[in-house]
Amino acid sequence: MFQDRISISSILVGTALLSVLAIATVDAAQGQTANGSEYSSIIARCAAGPQAHYGEDDAYYALGGGVQNGIVGAPRTEQAETRDQSVAPTARARAHESPAYAPPAPHPYYDPGPNRENYEDVDAGRFLLVGEAPVSTFSADVDTASYSNMRRILRNCQLPQRGALRTEELINYFSYDYAAPEDRSEPFAPSVWLTPTPWNSATQLLHVGIRGFDEVKAEQPLLNLVFLIDVSGSMRSQDKLPLVQASLRLLVNEMRPQDRISIVTYAGHSGVLLQPTQARHRGQILRAIDGLSAGGSTAGAEGLRTAYALAEQNFDDTRVNRIILASDGDFNVGMSDPDAMRDFIAHKRETGIYFTYLGYGTGNYNDVMAQRLAQAGNGNAAYIDSISEAQKVLVDEMRATLFPIANDVKFQVEFNPAVVAEYRLIGYETRALNREDFNNDEVDAGDIGNGHTVTALYEIVSVGSEATHYDPLRYGDVTPAEANPQEIAFLRMRYKLPGEDESNLMERPIYAREAIADLDDASDDVRFAAAVAAMGQYLRNDPYLPDYSIQDIRDLAQSARGDDPRGLRAEFVQLANLVEAIEGSHATE
């Protein structure tokens, strides 16, 4: 439990604040944009614990900072509730001027009242015996929703519940400098490392990373997008529909003149707000977005049907056809069961239409719905907690978000029983596949976008190690099957090129000689990914980090920040400090 990890509050908070100040000094020296002073203020207030309650209107601005002139996070003024549409197109420029990916500070003492957020609680993957289950199979996951949602919760001075955390999404929120493929015909290349485990000196971490081919913009196909926008009453707050509008403005400003955009909205009913319109008519598109208002119930299923019907009617096989749903996921009219919605989306993916889910809001955010829809619909999911996150997802990483380079990407690792006794895959609990699914091209898996990086970490226990979790069988085979002791494992990957139905196989051995004896000798990317993996497990209270503290996680991440031009890794270190402060405040309750 978290209580077992909490020491004296003043020591924790003091250490966190000193770390923030030190990081802010380094950032200033390196010209980075992580806002250490902002986080020091948040940490100090969170450390004090909940002391006050605020009204609903103040809460919305505390959580989102308000929306003015198209900017979420602007200071509140008397005109905060009136958007100046005439300056909305300047949103993108102002987003670039703000601190890189530092969302607006919430008021730390806001009590959101009854919490109807919906998460699926999944147990952590356990250690498996290689002698009984030598093969691990799972789908790629490029979603990042869990990380930005975690950040939103922490910045509101709360610890996220276990179901809100998918460790692989925390890891994959960050980009890593893996080897890139030479051309699109082989869309990614695997990179592999084996290092000591930071939290257990008796085990090792197997680090598998791939980087998608990064196609230049001029060679990318044109886009055919349908914006499906939730305008129901639950979207009224400033961190919902106004943030959706600001987000979509950023994306529209990135479109090429020949790209096409349609808009479908839904509340009690759904309707087509904008027929397919070329992006050269930017003013017409932005006026449609700016004119949206929220009210009514939430007929999400009807909205999906309308959006798919419009996308199918205007389908163009020379373009990337994609529906982008922006919602809090609070469906309450018609079909609303996440599994039923998943089945509907799964049937529709056969049309060749891709799907992106952008989640918004607090208090009723339906993470289960977001995951069901994104996983079923040849899709990806992100959670937008600020205009800075919208900038990251829809501008800086737009090509990865919207342009697929490989579909149905599957991983399979076979461990050598002569070398490895046990293993566990860190994260990917909701992406596990059966062994036979790997070769079955009818089984859906995750898609990878332009330049995406995907990382998977295994913790492994060597044969003969005292760290084993299982007693030997009395009547079992005590001699492993003959195998090459120079090979630790064998990696296989399957993928389909966009538009193709038959998968391609990529494979390579993982050799013992690839091991790095000292973690300090590993690259910044390898060490930072390990720190993020530790954070996910720590916050989930998974059972395999008994003595690894939040200070250990912070120190490892800080030492591995490396080249951090956008300040994302610096912010992660600040979030570790924030966890420390929140735990310290709990110690005094």
Instruction: Give per-residue pLDDT as tens, 277-308.
Output: 999 999 999 999 999 999 888 777 889 999 99
Q: Rounded to an integer, what distance in angstroms lies between the CA atom of residue 507 and that of residue 517?
A: 25
Give the type of residue at 46: C
Q: Which of 552, 585, 582, 556 is nearest to 39 (CA)?
A: 582
pLDDT at 50: 60
How far apart (Å, rounded) are the C-alpha atoms in residues 584 and 92?
38
Mean pLDDT to the nearest integer, 57-66:
33
- Residue 219: CA count within 13 A, CB half-sphere: 8
pLDDT at position 35 is 61
Q: Which residue has the tokens 């994104």?
A: 374
Q: What is the mean predicted confidence (pLDDT) over 436-444?
A: 96
Cα distance from N-terminal residue to C-terminal residue, the chain: 16
Which DSSP letter does residue 479 get?
S
Q: DSSP state, 539?
A: H
Tokens for 330, please give them: 């609070």
| pLDDT higher than 50, residue 8 | no
The answer to whether residues 238 and 64 touch, using CB atoms and an 8 Å cutoff, is yes
Of 428, 477, 454, 406, the closest CA to residue 129 belongs to: 477
Nearest alpha-carbon partner for 234 in 113, 361, 335 = 361
Which residue from 77, 158, 585 is spatially nearest to 363, judged by alpha carbons?
158
Q: Region 38-61: what's the mean pLDDT?
A: 60
Query: pLDDT value at position 292?
Result: 96
Helix (H) or strand (E) holding 307: helix 300-313
DSSP-based three-state secondary structure for 353: coil
β-pairing, 487-496 vs 504-511, is antiparallel
Burial of 111 (0-12, 13-18, 19+ CB in 10 A): exposed
Angle between helices 568-586 and 145-155 (to 10 degrees): 50
> 251 or 64: whose pLDDT is higher?
251
pLDDT in tens, 383-394: 999 999 999 999
Structure tokens at 512: 């013992």
- What the block records as the tokens of 573 is 């270190």
Contact call for residues 373 and 345 (beta carbons, < 8 A): yes
Distance CA 232, CA 330 (A): 9
The upper half-sphere exposure of residue 259, i.e. CA atoms within 13 Å in the direction of its Cβ, equals 23
Mean pLDDT over 43-68 rounds to: 48
Domains by residue range for the chain, with CATH: 1-60+549-589 (no CATH), 128-142+175-215+405-521 (2.60.40.1230), 221-402 (3.40.50.410)
- What are the residues whose beta carbons fall under 8 Å from the beta carbon of 332, sequence distance 6 or more? 297, 298
CB contact set of 17 (below 8 Å; sequence gap of 6+): 40, 43, 44, 577, 581
**Would you tell me the crossing angle of helices 338-348 and 367-376 to the nearest 10 degrees?**
20
- Could you give the CA distance from residue 317 to residue 499 in angstroms, rounded to a whole number? 9
Is 143 in contact with 374 (CB distance < 8 Å)? yes
Least confident window among 36-40, 99-103, 243-247, 548-552: 99-103
Q: What is the chain's length?
A: 589
Confidence of residue 7 (pLDDT cuts 50, 70, 90): very low
Q: From CA 322, how far away is CA 319, in angstroms rounded? A: 9
The tens digit of pLDDT for each residue in 215-238 reads 776 678 999 999 999 999 989 999
- What pLDDT score does 36 carry? 66
Tell me the residue type at 329: G
Alpha carbons 465 and 170: distance in angstroms, whole number: 30
| pLDDT over 50 at 6, yes or no | no
Q: How far apart are CA 138 and CA 405, in angstroms?
A: 19
Q: Is the pTM of this model over 0.75?
A: yes
Task: Give the model's pLDDT for residue 342.
Answer: 81
3-state secondary structure of 415: strand
Q: Helix (H, G, I), strand (E, B), or coil: what is residue 293?
A: coil
What are the DSSP calls for 37-58, one per residue? HHHHHHHHHHHH-------HHH
Angle at which helix 9-30 crosses helix 550-559, to 10 degrees, equals: 10
pLDDT in tens, 77-122: 333 333 233 223 333 232 333 333 334 344 333 344 456 899 999 9
User: How many CB atoms lie under 10 A from the CB of residue 430?
Assistant: 17
Q: What are phi and psi of 367, to 5 degrees?
A: -70, -35
Query: For the chain, how big is the Rg over CA atoms in Å?
Result: 24
pLDDT tens for each residue of 22-39: 444 334 333 333 466 778
The answer to whether 462 touches 420, Cβ cutoff 8 Å, is yes
Average the pLDDT over 463-475 and give the result.
87
Rounded Cα distance between 245 and 21, Å, is 35
How many other CB atoms are found less than 10 A from the CB of residue 483? 14
Of 334-348, 437-451, 567-581, the poorest mean pLDDT is in 334-348
Q: Per DSSP, what are the bridge partners of residue 225?
A: 261, 322
Interval 153-173: pLDDT, tens:
999 999 999 999 999 999 999
Residue 357, pLDDT > 60, answer yes
- C-alpha dist (Å) from residue 217 to 108, 271, 450: 42, 33, 10
Residue with tokens 């120190």: 555
Total Cβ atoms within 10 A of residue 292: 18
